[in-house]
Amino acid sequence: MAHTKRVKIGGFEIGGGRPLALIAGPCVIENADSALRHAAALKQIADRVGVPFIFKSSYDKANRTSLGSFRGPGIDEGLKILAQVRRDIGVPVLTDVHEIDQIAPAAEAVDVLQIPAFLCRQTDFVVAVARAGKAVNVKKGQFLAPWDVKNIVEKIVSTGNEQVTVTERGASFGYNNLVSDMRSLVVLGDLGYPVVFDATHSLQQPGGLGKASGGERQYIPALARAAVAVGVDALFMEVHEDPDRALSDGPNSLALKELGALLARVKEIDALVKRR
């Protein structure tokens, strides 16, 4: 895979041959105690294995399958919780934004602003996120070819912001299904910016349960290992202490108790690939 730029997040860098980083957390903030508890546990695991860690969670899941789906605490309470995680746990934090007027307050609370997959082609929105001056993680829409991401990156860097990471999260494959093409990771790497592989949303089955999305979390370790073998710069994973009781994306979330072993294995693979 191509040698990408380095993006500084918190006290470490992603890309440019640096060791694999982890972006992980529950899909949505369920409450303050849950967010702090997950962040502390994830940091402890990442520190033990020796992998740089960014906590991720959403204050509002604006694109839920049904009207009655849990969306989160909302922007005001959610950003307070994320700022507390950042301060008390001492880790950089990532969250997604959905509207232009959310960008400024989110930028004050977190280290990385994420452009959701369904909004990645919205030019004014993408440019506004980039202008906030924070690192930007772009989720590649599941409806896009990997080479189409070049246009998104050009919109971002047109603002002078080159702190960009691009994330593969699978491509639409028929109805209620996604498929991960490892060739996509190479194409994205050729754009010159760090590549992230979302090993959990890639196994989502959008709307697959009728009023909620399904998923195939049993395949998370296999896809994570494969992507790291290709040479990605970071893994993105939904991780929950009890996926069966998660309020969002439980079917495609990794159980917290399984993270340590998987992280140790992919770190070994990453070291081998990058040593070569």
pLDDT tens string for the chain (276 positions)? 778 899 999 999 999 999 999 999 999 999 999 999 999 999 999 999 999 999 999 999 877 567 777 788 899 999 999 999 999 999 999 999 999 999 999 999 999 999 999 999 999 999 999 999 999 999 999 999 999 999 999 999 999 999 999 999 999 998 988 999 999 999 999 999 999 999 999 988 776 565 566 678 899 999 999 999 999 999 999 999 999 998 887 888 999 999 999 999 999 999 999 986
Closest CA to 103 of 67, 58, 78, 134: 134
Separation of alpha carbons 80 and 74, rounded Å: 10
Q: Is residue 1 part of a domain?
A: no
CATH code where residue 63 lies:
3.20.20.70
Confidence at residue 64, expressed as pLDDT on a 0 to 100 scale: 59
Q: Is residue 127 part of a domain?
A: yes
Number of domains present in the structure of the chain: 1
pTM of the model: 0.95
- Non-local (6+) Cβ contacts of 160 within 8 A are none
Confidence at residue 252, expressed as pLDDT on a 0 to 100 scale: 87
Q: Is residue 258 part of a domain?
A: yes
Residue 39, classed as helix, strand or coil, is helix
Residue 76, classed as helix, strand or coil, is helix
- Kindly compute the dihedral angle of the four CA atoms of residues 232, 125, 249, 218, in this order, to the nearest 10 degrees: -20
Q: Is residue 63 part of a domain?
A: yes
Q: Is residue 199 part of a domain?
A: yes
Helices (H), 132-241: 149-157, 182-189, 220-230
Q: Is residue 102 part of a domain?
A: yes
Domain extent, residue 209, equals: 7-275
How many Cα atoms occupy the beta-carbon half-sphere of 67 within 13 Å?
0
Confidence at residue 256, expressed as pLDDT on a 0 to 100 scale: 97
Residue 179 near residue 208, CB atoms below 8 Å:
no
Q: Is residue 2 part of a domain?
A: no
Q: Is residue 43 part of a domain?
A: yes
- Non-local (6+) Cβ contacts of 73 within 8 A are 29, 31, 59, 60, 81
